[in-house]
Amino acid sequence: MIKKLLLMGMLLGAVSAGAQTYTPTADNLAARQNFQDMKFGLFIHWGIYSELGAGEWVMNEKHIPYDSYKRLADFFNPQAFNAHDWVMFAKKAGMKYIIVTSRHHDGFSMFGTKASPYNIVDATPYHKDPLMELAQECVKEGIELHFYYSLLDWGRKDYAYGSPIVDGKPANGDWDSYINFMKAQLTELITKYPGVKGIWFDGHWERDVNWHYDEIYGLIHKLNPAILVGNNHHLEPKEGEDFQMFEKDLPGANTTGFSGKSKIGALPLETCETINNSWGFNINDRSFKSSKRIIHYLVNAAGLNANFLLNIGPMPNGKIQPEFTDTLAVVGAWVQKNGEAIYGTRGSGIPAQPWGVITRKDKKLYVHVMTAPQQPYIFIPQLKGKVTKAALLADGSAVKFKQQTEGVFVYLSGVATDPNDTIIKLITN
């Protein structure tokens, strides 16, 4: 009792001192579990930049003045956009959720917003809201929808891109106005669009300012406590966030150099990667990843207890290019067959091995052999519990194994291997 009072006093003290403590609601915790169960999501980068076919950074990279860039809106008219096609594309690939760019760094809102006239409904000849159609279609098809939302804005005067930062604000901008603008848009995204389950922030790294995350995250969780907030800041998770993301790297790895400061926390994990080398539509990018590479990415992420968010950049007419559809049809067929070893699993805690990784669901372990070993067997170290049975997931046929104190040997001779991933299911007691 005294302890409890003391703790309450400490909490109150912290609140009055201006620091906030975030306690996720039961709904939020359930949403996190569900998020981890989904494992595979579709990331979509689509905006007026898609018209130039040179990625979503084209305005910045080609030094296009904001007023010239704005003309892209005058002729953005994605007549071939069909929300059903997008959702079916994701579903067929075995993906359970979609994260779509609602507004990227160019500042153009791809949804109908009252907070700025620079949006797809008011500023383009299309005059429709594709994200509303997408949200409604997602609800219909049982796919979760999350919105990507950029903190960085290259065009707005109040953001004042390039301004020196003084006392946590851009000296030449109007920071309160910008924060209020974001709050107004986020309120729209959360309250107007049916079924929205998450916000994926990006752009934090552009400047060292006070982003008012306490207010922004607080607002989101006040509007809907179950919304999952994540931020691509490449740092340790901050107060008020519900999942941790990694960009173009598996948790713990840092091949890109983006993830040097991002220690793995206790929150659900997600890692994103591009299907070629671009986020937004890039007409010149033909470095398409193979279906095998994508499957391995998904399996490796699952083995590390993380979701995999695979990105595509649809074309300016709203269609998805055939190379992506072809690859993901193969991925989808694979996940359809082997989903038991992916969906609803968690990392096993057993580190990745030269031959592959292990996912876990309760007492079941799924051993993913992705690289054929030199010897006709694999060795699994650090396995807890006693293995009572081993069988090939594909057909249920028994697989030989031997358990010792150091770990388990699984014998592969005579086992029908899969060119992507041979999965052996172990039952432990």
Taking CB under 6 A as the criterion, the residue among 106, 137, 153, 202 binding ligand JFZ is 202
Among 35, 50, 52, 56, binds ligand JFZ (CB under 6 A): 56
**Minimum distance, C-beta of residue 48 to ligand JFZ, in the bound complex (Å):** 14
Instruction: Provide, rounded to whole angstroms, the least separation between the CB of residue 311 and ligand JFZ.
Output: 7
Among residues 66 and 258, whose Cβ is nearest to ligand JFZ?
Answer: 258
Pick between residue 272 and residue 378 the one whose CB is nearest to ligand JFZ: 272
**Is residue 232 involved in binding ligand JFZ (CB under 6 A)?**
yes
Chain position carrying tokens 């004042």: 160
Does the protein bind ligand JFZ through residue 273 (CB under 6 A)? no
Task: Mark 128-147 with x for binding to ligand JFZ (rule: CB under 6 A) and - for no binding.
Answer: --------------------
Q: How many residues bind ligand JFZ (CB under 6 A)?
A: 11
Strand intervals (E) in 176-305: 196-202, 228-231, 244-247, 269-274
CB of 12 to ligand JFZ, least distance (A): 37
Radius of gyration (C-alpha) of the chain in whole angstroms: 23
Q: Is 279 in the site for ligand JFZ (CB under 6 A)?
A: yes
Report which of 312, 294, 393, 390 is spatially closest to residue 345, judged by C-alpha positions.
393
Judged by CB under 6 A, does residue 75 bind ligand JFZ?
no
SS3 content of the chain, % helix, strand, coil (to 5): 30, 25, 45
Query: Nearest approach, Cβ of 57 to ligand JFZ (angstroms)?
Result: 6
- Tell which one of 258, 379, 409, 411 touches ligand JFZ (CB under 6 A): 258
H or E stretch including 146?
A: strand 144-150
259 touching ligand JFZ, by CB under 6 A: no
154-190 CB burial, b ≥16 within 10 A, e <16: bbbebbbbeeeeeeebbeebbbeebbebbbebbebbb
Give, as one character, the DSSP assignment of residue 381.
E
Handedness of CA 218, 222, 223, 225 (dihedral sign): positive
Shortest Å distance, C-beta 417 to ligand JFZ: 35
Whole-angstrom distance, CA of residue 299 vs CA of residue 305: 10
241 near 229, Cβ under 8 Å?
yes
* Residue among 45 and 146 whose Cβ is closer to ligand JFZ: 45
The secondary structure element, H or E, covering residue 141 is: helix 130-141
The distance in angstroms from the start CA to the end CA of the chain is: 40
Report in angstroms how near the CB of residue 204 gets to ligand JFZ at its nearest.
8
Return the number of the residue (55 or 356) whose C-beta is nearest ligand JFZ: 55
Q: How far is the CB of 205 from ligand JFZ (least distance, A)?
A: 4
Work out whether 205 is an interface residue with ligand JFZ (CB under 6 A).
Answer: yes
3-state secondary structure of 92: helix
d(CA 159, CA 152): 8
Give least dist CB 18 to ligand JFZ, A: 28
Residue in this structure with the two tokens 């959702």, named with its chain if needed = 87
Of 57 and 343, nearer to ligand JFZ (C-beta) is 57
Tell me the closest approach of the beta carbon of residue 232 to ligand JFZ, in angstroms.
5
Dist CA 293 CA 331 (whole Å) = 10
- What Cα–Cα distance (Å) separates residue 256 from each residue in 148, 260, 363, 411? 21, 9, 35, 36
- Among residues 212, 234, 296, 425, the one that binds ligand JFZ under rule CB under 6 A: 234
Q: Binding of ligand JFZ at residue 379 (CB under 6 A)?
A: no
Between 62 and 84, CB nearer to ligand JFZ: 62
Tell me which DSSP letter residue 206 carries. Answer: G
Applying the rule CB under 6 A, the residues between 19 and 48 that interact with ligand JFZ are 45
- Residues near 54 by Cβ (< 8 Å), separated by ≥ 6? 61, 62, 282, 283, 284
- Token pair for 179: 């924060």
Least Cβ distance, residue 120 to ligand JFZ (angstroms):
18
Q: Which is nearer to ligand JFZ, 148 or 181 (CB)?
A: 148
Structure tokens, 71: 């003309």
Residues making contact with ligand JFZ (CB under 6 A): 45, 56-57, 202, 205, 232, 234, 247, 258, 272, 279
